[in-house]
Structure 1
């Protein structure tokens, strides 16, 4: 029981003193990250190429760099790829790799990773550090407000304001 009370006291102190990241109470932390999603061409930040023959997608620029090292390509294909006036990668890919290949315009969007909820920012940071293999290198703590959640609000208010001395003196 004393360990639980000590835990609650320490949690109370952390809740009272942590940075609130401009969020109203009640607040909690999640993992924010980024992912690439299909976009309209005018909003594209990059392109990926989809190769139906092998049912795979690759970031176009990375794919073109990797393919230059492919020893199975014909000399003609490599020569054309390395030309200075090379300006239509999808046409080249369709000619030499997969005739049904498609370019996919993409943009990077911020997301809140599912199944993440932490009472403290420090706990969220620790989670990201210990589980970085599940996230991109841009993963970060992301504060959120539990808007219109009266039970969450009441619980966090109790945790932040409970007078622990009141139970110590009543023994």
Structure 2
């Protein structure tokens, strides 16, 4: 169910009005040309552009696209360097019941951690498609986390789902790209321009119809 504001009030229009200028007309003509000649990106009218970027979120087990390891002590996710440091501390630790060495042959090369866990070959690498995500092969992740916990580390498996957010609104693709070139440092590396259809907004639809079809030379 949508939420509607109950206490919004109109106020007097105090904006000072002026006559349209030649510079205004030139701006509208250039905007008209840009909107009428730019790529439609396979999107129906009325087109506007936004900045689209990743906004992943925590989800329940069985519903995630990937997972991260979260250290409750530092309140941060673990990257490969963090995991490697923990493994270095625990290398050559022995199993309480059997006396067997649990972790040995530890290496960290080419951005991949490899080691033997109770004789089985294990590798840990980054999930290239997902920030902070990791991929563990050769051992069940729960088993490795349990081994960490036995030695005083409080690390949780956090399931993540891929999500996207949309910000701002631009009348042209060029304006959206110019914004991203100038302020891209405020966004993630996944940020990009994205064309959307806003035909359900009659005010935007009417405004764009005026911009795109009026003969501004006759104003």
**Conserved? CA contact 2:47–2:197, under 8 Å:** yes
Higher relative contact order (CA 8 A, sep 6+): 1
Query: 1:58 pairs with 70, 77, 100, which one?
Result: 77
2:149 counterpart residue number? 94
Query: Could you say what secondary structure the match of 1:138 adopts?
Result: coil
Counterparts of 2:92 and 2:48, CA distance in 1: 56
Matched, 1:129 2:145: no
SS of the equivalent of 1:19 reads: coil
**1:147 is aligned to 2:160:** no
1:78 and 2:91 correspond: yes
Q: How many residues align?
A: 157
Q: Deviations over 1:132-163 (max 9, x none)?
A: 22222221111112232111111100000110
1:45 corresponds to 2:65 = yes
Q: TM-score, normalised by structure 1?
A: 0.78
User: In proportion to residue count, which structure has more strand?
Assistant: 2
Q: Over aligned residues, Cα RMSD in angstroms?
A: 2.4
Query: Residues 52 and 193 of structure 2 are in contact (CA less than 8 Å); yes or no, is this contact kept in structure 1?
Result: yes
Structure 1 unmatched runs, 5+:
none
Counterpart secondary structure, 1:90: helix
TM-score by length of 2: 0.63
Please say if 1:33 is aligned against 2:53: yes
Distance 1:95 1:153, change over 3 A: same
* Alpha-carbon distance, 1:119 to partner: 0.4
Structure 1 position 20 matched with structure 2 position 74: no
Flag the structure with higher helix content: 1
Contact in 2 for aligned 1:48/1:57 (Cα 8 Å): no
Q: Could you tell me which runs of 5 or more consecutive residues in structure 2 were left unpaired when the two chains were aligned.
A: 1-20, 94-102, 107-114, 123-138
Q: 1:93 to 1:126 in 2, by over 3 A?
A: farther
Distance in 2 separating the partners of 1:44 and 1:79? 34
Highest CA radius of gyration, 1 or 2? 2
Distance 1:92 1:102 in 2: 12
